[in-house]
Structure 1
Amino acid sequence: MGRLDAVEAALAVTLPADVRGWWALTNVSADYWFPGSFAPVALEEAPETREIWLLVAEQEESLFDQNGEEEPRFLPEFMPIAMSPGGDGLVVDLRAGEHHGAIFLWDHERWRLGVPLWDSMGSMLQDIAVALESQTPALPRHAALGGAEAACVGKVNDSGDLTDVGASG
């Protein structure tokens, strides 16, 4: 049984093919290069991060919105794929339905998903590649759908290193 199969079996989840493909890559750097200064989470770290977030969600007292409905919490069907220095994450939604495989921002203070950043890992990587190659903003579809995250532009230096990921002006 391979690493990916072992993670899926241990967590009782099925990862989308493009997420499996991502984690099957070797030599992926943990530098911050996703929009919003997110660093990729290694396959070995993702289950531990997920378990910590599930524990925090379980320990938090229930909060209710203005309609008296319980605020959402981190769910077992969310799998972290990237983390920011501030403790937020990018998660893939493993729930069945319209957003299966979509990439969302998990804000550790807001506790809700909002509009998907991307429909899939593949669309995320394509968007980032196009944005870097053309120096145009990433996340245009998210913004068009009414998403709250600002489109951003990454800058690559002469060595090919990402030096800045900032909001587009």
Structure 2
Amino acid sequence: MQHAVDESWNIIVEWLARHSPPELALIRPPAAEDDIRETERGVGTVLPDDLVAWWRRADGQAGHGSLMPWFYSPHSAREALNKRNVWMTAWNGVMEQAAPERFAAYVAQEDQAPSGTPCKGAWLPSWLPVAGDGGGNDLFVDLRPGPAHGCVREFFRDAGASDAARWDSVAAMLADVAAGLTQEAPVHGHRIWVEDDGRISWDSDASRWSMGGRTPVDVGRLRARYAAFVTEARTGGFGPPPDGSWPAEWVAAHVARNSELLIATTRAVLADDPAGREQRRAAALAAQDWTRLQELMASAELAAAGIRYDNSDAMDPATLDRYATGGLSALASQVEGLGARLCELVGPLNRGRPTAHVHIVDAGTTILDARKGWLGVLNALWTRQLPLRTRQLRALR
């Protein structure tokens, strides 16, 4: 077990040194043996060998990072015990108010159940947090007896413990993270993303196309992302792609066609006047005109249902071939013009809360087919899609 943890941790640290110095800087030195033993005494049971081996390499992180998907940062040995005590007091303190004796019996019974057994109504004494997301959710190690002893599960602030284990062990978790970093392999459906400044996060396939939410689009950054892509395309010097990858001309063709689709949908959304509709909704709300408010909401749903963005054509090899015939230089100029046009449209769009039906296909798989906030799609364009395509070009040079 020690060897498996050491091997994975060495891979993780080496990758962070090359790609994410900010995340590496958060990692603490090895935990003191006294801290590990104090945590063990506090839980009242022997800690798994792989968890102890991990703490002997690094005592969590000083500050919040995103080393473990999705947004979890490892706890130190002391933090783990402190977090456990908080859960035991805060969560259980609320749950036991109605019937303290019955709740105590329930906790005692569930704490003797086999490790991995679902338990929604309490934080059990044999659970130990090992990482947190900074928002009140934790990864924890289930230390109850049984074949699943040492499995890693999630505890959500509002919903309690997950029914299923996310990993069989801490060692399995670290092995998955090492593979996710070095091979860009999905870890429970999430892939690593490295920002230009070295900060990391984990994306779902859908979030790389639509970030959701109603955050206004940063037009300046969108313009800069288009400019960076155009510069990369015009620099040239691209070689043949690896098997299964797009050539440089296809990458540029995709950005051109996808920009056309985004412009068409944005124009349709603007024609629907989201800002004006929002003003009418606010006026009805202020006047407490509930009938009018319901009418406005119904009309918004009908309008949004008719606005659709579908990226299928921008992923179609026949389309990419057709667009690529003009050559890379012409495509770069086309993307430059389309990017400028889209940026001009986004400003007025930021005043409302527009939606559209979004259909996303990637690698031949439909990953999103639902009504979504349109600003979230445009935010994903500058935060993920354009940087991703720029990096695809750079990798071909």
Structure 1 counterpart of 2:134, from 70, 85, 110 = 85
How many residues align structurally? 151
Equivalence for 2:190: 152
CA contact (8 A) 1:23 1:42 kept: yes
Structure 1 counterpart of 2:202, from 158, 161, 165 = 165
The structure-2 alpha-carbon separation of the partners of 1:28 and 1:80, relative to structure 1 and needing over 3 Å to count, comes to closer
Equivalence for 2:154: 105
In our comparison, the structure showing a higher alpha carbon Rg is: 2
Equivalence for 1:124: 173
CA contact (8 A) 1:46 1:79 kept: yes
Q: Distance in 1 between matches of 2:87 and 2:203?
A: 27
CA contact (8 A) 2:59 2:76 kept: no
Which SS does the other structure have where 1:115 is aligned?
Answer: coil
Which SS does the other structure have where 2:161 is aligned?
Answer: coil
Q: CA deviation at 1:122?
A: 0.3
Which SS does the other structure have where 2:185 is aligned?
Answer: coil
Q: In the alignment, residue 50 of structure 2 is paired with which amino acid?
A: D
Equivalence for 2:184: 135
Q: Distance in 1 between matches of 2:142 and 2:174?
A: 16
Equivalence for 1:142: none
Deviations 1:91-135 (A, max 9, x none): 000000132100001111111321110000000000111111111
Q: Distance in 2 between matches of 1:57 and 1:27?
A: 26
CA contact (8 A) 1:138 1:153 kept: yes
Higher helix share: 2
CA contact (8 A) 1:89 1:105 kept: yes
Q: Distance in 2 between matches of 1:164 and 1:4?
A: 29
Equivalence for 1:37: 71
CA RMSD of aligned residues (A): 2.2
Equivalence for 1:6: 38
Question: Which structure 1 segments of 5+ residues have no match?
Answer: 64-69, 140-150
Q: Distance in 2 between matches of 1:93 and 1:27?
A: 19
The structure-2 alpha-carbon separation of the partners of 1:74 and 1:27, relative to structure 1 and needing over 3 Å to count, comes to closer
Question: Which structure 2 segments of 5+ residues have no match?
Answer: 1-32, 99-105, 107-119, 207-397
Which SS does the other structure have where 1:125 is aligned?
Answer: helix
Q: CA deviation at 1:162?
A: 4.5
The two structures have a TM-score, normalised by structure 2, of 0.36
Q: Distance in 2 between matches of 1:164 and 1:113?
A: 22
CA contact (8 A) 1:132 1:156 kept: no
Q: Distance in 1 between matches of 2:60 and 2:95?
A: 37
Deviations 1:59-94 (A, max 9, x none): 11359xxxxxx7521111000000012210000000
Q: CA deviation at 1:2?
A: 3.2
CA contact (8 A) 1:118 1:124 kept: yes
The structure-2 alpha-carbon separation of the partners of 1:126 and 1:162, relative to structure 1 and needing over 3 Å to count, comes to farther
